[in-house]
Amino acid sequence: MPVITTIDDLRRLHKRRTPKMFYDYAESGSWTEQTFRENTSDFDQIRLRQRVAVDMSGRTTASQMIGQDVAMPVALAPVGLTGMQHADGEIKAAKAAEKFGVPFTLSTMSICSIEDVAEHTKEPFWFQLYVMQDEEFVDNIIARAKNAGCSALVLTLDLQILGQRHKDLKNGLTAPPKLTLPTMLNLATKWRWGMGMLQTKRRQFGNIVGHAKGVGDASSLSSWTAEQFDLRLDWDKIAKLKEKWGGKLILKGILDPEDAKKAVEVGADAIIVSNHGGRQLDGALSAIRMLPSIVAAVGDQVEVHMDSGIRSGQDVLKALALGAKGTYIGRAYIYGLGAMGQEGVTKALDVIHKELDTTMALCGRRDVKTLDREVLLVPEDFEGRWA
């Protein structure tokens, strides 16, 4: 068993153990990947204030996200094709999250279905919705999420069309993988992954296949998005979906203060400041850079969460100190899952928790809920002067 001390250790193992097309799918941004890169490098520009001779006993990272108790304000983000990174990946990640005491968010484009995850977990999870043109399908999937006891709907707003990720096209990404010669040669080196996949029946988009009509290639994420996603999604439709759902609503993909204000108007319970991990609009600013102006625009009118670029507990602390009430990890737990299944997801959460707890203490704080701008050193021009 290798000694794992960082999220990057898990990334390297993930790369070694998982078929190239799925590792590449996770580890991509769109086009030049500028936004993908800056999501992480911008975190590095922010520094921490070392404070001393402060009582460090009795520390806590416990908090709340949308009124739910969390062991730390770090949820698992929705990630498509998670069950291709490791057999039954969504079930494994949901179980790890449940044990740790943080929310798990299931993607519409998951391999394990809503019902699969509900059957294998006790705590309610969150469901992420992509709005499709087929209204019947949307009504149905909302009803399925309600029946499964999901305690929040996470509506993604930044992916009506897919930002191009070159690697996915070059690898011929599908779920399950089509057995071309290069793919077979690569799979031959991933025996651990293959054994897992042979032992599960969950190898297709579980929320979709058998539930939706009229799709050319049900194994391809890019065909799906191109043929099915609703190009006309707008604020009126969001208001209607909120009515239909009737529960807690989180709007994901807000990167502009004006859109954050619209989210308040529509009555969202929370927004996620996000650029989809740099996978959509390449050239957009990093989520951590946009966070302060969005927090300033909406204040306490809506709970502000953020994702995109978090790879450590220090990153979590920086986001919280800049005003986020909650954060999400996507790739950071997917690396763990691809590396070591459920145990790897737990490891990712442990690594981040320990980093968050220790860093908070060395900044002179004992309670994650008290983190504020005072613990940071932020370059004066961090948000940039853009016209």
Q: Which residues bind ligand GLV (CB under 6 A)?
A: 80, 109, 159, 276, 279
Nearer to ligand GLV, 222 or 293 (CB): 222
Q: 88 vs 168, which CB is nearer to ligand GLV?
A: 168
CB of 107 to ligand GLV, least distance (A): 6
**What strand order describes the sheet that includes 74-76?**
74-76, 326-329, 303-306, 270-273, 249-254, 152-156, 126-129, 105-106
Which CB, 159 or 249, lies closer to ligand GLV? Answer: 159
The residue number with the shortest CB distance to ligand GLV is 80
Beta strand 68-70 pairing with 47-48: unpaired
**Closest separation between CB of residue 84 and ligand GLV, Å?**
12
Identity of the amino acid at 177 = P
120 is catalytic: no
> Between residues 205 and 245, which has the closer beta carbon with respect to ligand GLV?
205
Cis preceding-peptide flag for 73 (omega within 30 of 0) = no
Catalytic: which of 14, 276, 305, 353?
276
CA 289 → CA 7, 40, 169, 322, distances in Å? 22, 11, 30, 10
DSSP class per residue in 198-255: HT-S--S-TTTTTT----S-TT-HHHHHHHHB-TT--HHHHHHHHHHH-S-EEEEEE-
Pick 85 or 346: Cβ nearer ligand GLV: 85
What is the distance between the terminal CA atoms of the chain, rounded to a whole angstrom? 52
Among candidates 316, 326, 332, which has minimal Cα distance to 295?
Answer: 326
Closest to 272 (Cα-Cα) out of 303, 247, 236: 303
d(CA 234, CA 126): 22
SS3 (DSSP) at 142: helix
User: Is 334 within 8 Å of 347 (Cβ atoms)?
Assistant: no
Supply the minimum distance, in Å, between the C-beta of residue 279 and ligand GLV.
4
3-state secondary structure of 68: strand
| Choice between 159 and 270, CB closer to ligand GLV | 159
Task: List the structure tokens of 88.
Answer: 């039954």
Give the catalytic positions in this structure: 276
